[in-house]
Chain A
Amino acid sequence: MRAIPLKSFTSLAVVGLLVTGCGQGLLGGGDGGDTAAKADDPIVLGMLIPQSGSEAAIGPYMSNAAQLALDEINAKGGVLGRKLELKTADDACDAQSAAAGANKLVTEGVDISVGGYCSGATLPTLPIFGKANIPMIIPAANSQELVDQKLKHVFLINGTGSQQAGAADKWIAKQGAKSVVLMHDNTSYSKDIALRTKSLLDAPGGAESVLVETVTPKESDYSANVTNVLAKKPDFVYWTGYFQEGGLIARQLRQAGYKGSIMVGDGSVSPKLIEIAGAEAAEGVYATMTQTPDTLEGAEGWISAYKKKYDTEPGPYSNQAYDAVRLAAEAVTKAGGTDGAKVIAALEGMDGFSMFSGPLKFTPEHTLSSGGFQVLVVKGDKFALQDSLK
């Protein structure tokens, strides 16, 4: 390789400094945007969702539903006489893209963040929104790590990993399973649930966790993992990752002759899981999941409104994204403006705001006071309610 002259390095460094300097200058401008807001400016909601990368399929489910809520609110005259506006950015389910996306949203002057799907991508955005005094209502990401930092501006409206692990433990005990294998994909979200479930199972009595198997996401062939799992002769397998791998794993477990129960976490609850696994392998697969439109009474109207607007069924986390926008609107109404501290106070004071997962009240750590995890089961081509675990 030819040596690059030192001079070009120096000029590169100077350009780099200039660019980052500009970036921060713009960010600084975003902070003060709120005070300058005029009465007829729209209230801007920012949403970080995966639009590219492996989880790109989820993004539209969430942004469509958010837009639906927004349009409904705007049709009724908006909030405090101001219209709502949605700005989305791509987090690609990846920490770097998420941080860049969050900075972009801050620069664009969002008032409240209503996004966050992958926990690993949402984590680095917390300080970025926090610094800009922007409250976050996180609709989907639910790793315990998000609330462990006890940040005042972070609110989760999905049950947390520990609540999900609790539900899984309850159902495994109810099924009388003896030996359980936990499988995760090493992402923040998936590992959290698997390890929390393991520590619950490891309490004396009941089921025993015989193996925690880690898979590499984005592969097609999991036969090596399946061979490891079957060597332990488990009667219950719990996969806590996303549906793309979940479908393949369920199929390959069944093909290898596994007869016991299979359960998946909420990231795997999608009709695509059944398609990928094939109807035969998917039948009877359990799932831990928060309330979904499918399992809720009286959601038919909402589903048909969504279908009418987008010509497709709502998908995973459509309802949470819809709720996040409604909740943001409610909080701004209560706070009488978009000032971060006032909106946070309004969110903390919420009591009985009606959402798909039931009446809302936040715990001191800003998670749902009632986790609302339930167990679904695959029947035919969809997930149906098996047990509400109440």
Chain B
Amino acid sequence: MTQLVWNGLFVGSFYALVALGYSMVYGIIKLLNFAHGDLYMLGAFIGFAVLGAVGGVSSSMALPLLLAVLLATMVFTGLAGVALERIAYRPLRRAPRLSLLITAVGASFALEYGMRAAAGADPRVYPVRLGGTSMEVLGARLTLQQLVLIGVAVVLMIGLNLLITRTREGRAMRAIALDPRTSSLMGIDVNAVISRTFFLGSALAGAAGVMAGAYYGKIDFLMGFLIGLKAFTAAVIGGIGNIPGTMLGGLLLGLLESFGTFWLGGEWRDVFTFGVLILFLTVRPTGLLGERVTERV
């Protein structure tokens, strides 16, 4: 049983990291950024390229090296997110919500097949792998590397939460989420804040991509699709637009999948997950921690 909890928390922390970007973007401009999962994929590939460029490092150095690559990748992916907003979403900010949503789907395909054109369709394998031998803790098998990855995820999430609740920047974001027009009248540069929101959300997704690449090993150009949907589900469960709620939603979704697979069998995993999504959308669209009635597309 502890093994199931552990599996769920580990997968859930990836979902939570990716879901945060979804949630922030939705919170601030009410856009479901369907290309967000592909920024996770982009992160995995950028991390792969950066590792390749660093090259030839002994495996004892793997962990510190990966952390450095992680930071570099977060910067790259963050900038990619900013570019995405600038090119695909900003011109449509005053357009009907549906055009924005359709553009997001288009951006998702553009990223996927752009990466396929650039890197090929073959799956790639990370040169540095975080495998590690497992140890028994309270009846569950876990590795030191898994603990480190969860630790990194937790640090990133706490950092984000502090940024949003304690800084001027965060206050500006929250103000825009409430009322963009009044915020701009109050002297907030709305475009700049939205850009920074995209930067943060995309950087977190990129971090999750590198971590997944280093832990699971395999990356391919379609890897972002499913996790994008899962992250969306996690955000809805916790309360889309609500940062602590989204983290909770990610972890809960991981646990749901782990226990769902155990109880119902593997073929029910996605049925179960997306069934829960539908249930939430109909019964409690604001999610577990969402207070304000969110507008739906």
A: residues with CB less than 8 A from B are 51-54, 56-57, 59, 186, 213-216, 218-221, 223-225, 227-228, 244, 247-248, 251, 255-257, 272, 275-276, 278, 280
Best-buried of B7, B212, B223 by chain A (most CB within 10 Å): B7
| Given A220-B223, A257-B141, CB of A278 within 8 Å of CB of B123 | no
Report whether B261 and A57 are in contact in the complex, using a CB–CB cutoff of 8 Å.
no
- Shortest beta-carbon contacts, A-B, top 7: A56-B121, A214-B267, A224-B261, A220-B216, A214-B266, A57-B122, A223-B7
In the bound complex, CA of A54 to CA of B123 (Å): 9
Report whether A224 and B269 are in contact in the complex, using a CB–CB cutoff of 8 Å.
yes
Q: Hey, what's the 0/1 contact readout for B194-232 against A, CB within 8 Å counting as 1?
A: 000000000000000000100011101011011000000
Interface size on B, residues (CB 8 A): 37
Report whether B11 and A223 are in contact in the complex, using a CB–CB cutoff of 8 Å.
yes
Best-buried of A56, A59, A215 by chain B (most CB within 10 Å): A56
Q: Hey, what's the 0/1 contact readout for B30-51 against A, CB within 8 Å counting as 1?
A: 0000000000000000000000
Q: Is B143 close to A, CB under 8 A? A: yes
Report whether A256 and B257 are in contact in the complex, using a CB–CB cutoff of 8 Å.
no
In the bound complex, CA of A219 to CA of B37 (Å): 13
CB-CB < 8 A to B122: which residues of A? 57, 272
| Given A220-B223, A224-B7, A256-B134, CB of A247 within 8 Å of CB of B218 | yes
CB-CB < 8 A to A248: which residues of B? 216-218
Report whether B266 and A275 are in contact in the complex, using a CB–CB cutoff of 8 Å.
no
Select from chain B the residue with minimum beta-carbon distance to A277: B217
| Given A220-B212, A244-B220, CB of A227 within 8 Å of CB of B7 | yes
Nearest-CB distance from B258 to chain A (Å)?
Answer: 5
Report whether A225 and B131 are in contact in the complex, using a CB–CB cutoff of 8 Å.
no
Q: Report which of B14, B125, B216, B258 forms a contact with A275, defined as CB distance below 8 A.
A: B125
Report whether B134 and A218 are in contact in the complex, using a CB–CB cutoff of 8 Å.
no
In the bound complex, CA of A228 to CA of B143 (Å): 19
Q: Is B129 close to A, CB under 8 A? A: yes
Select from chain B the residue with minimum beta-carbon distance to A281: B131
Q: Is B3 close to A, CB under 8 A? A: yes
B: residues with CB less than 8 A from A are 3-4, 7-8, 10-11, 14, 113, 116, 120-123, 125, 129, 131, 134, 141, 143, 212, 216-218, 220, 222-223, 225-226, 257-258, 261-262, 265-267, 269-270
Select from chain A the residue with minimum beta-carbon distance to B133: A255
In the bound complex, CA of A276 to CA of B126 (Å): 9
Q: Report which of B8, B141, B223, B258 forms a contact with A256, defined as CB distance below 8 A.
A: B141
Q: Report which of A53, A228, A247 forms a contact with B222, defined as CB distance below 8 A.
A: A53
In the bound complex, CA of A213 to CA of B261 (Å): 10
In the bound complex, CA of A275 to CA of B10 (Å): 23
Q: Report which of B7, B14, B123, B257 forms a contact with A276, defined as CB distance below 8 A.
A: B123
Report whether B261 and A225 are in contact in the complex, using a CB–CB cutoff of 8 Å.
yes
Select from chain A the residue with minimum beta-carbon distance to B136: A257
Report whether B121 and A224 are in contact in the complex, using a CB–CB cutoff of 8 Å.
no
Nearest-CB distance from B48 to chain A (Å)?
Answer: 13
CB-CB < 8 A to A221: which residues of B? 7, 10-11, 14, 216
CB-CB < 8 A to A186: which residues of B? 267
CB-CB < 8 A to A218: which residues of B? 222-223, 225-226
CB-CB < 8 A to B269: which residues of A? 216, 224
Report whether B125 and A227 are in contact in the complex, using a CB–CB cutoff of 8 Å.
no
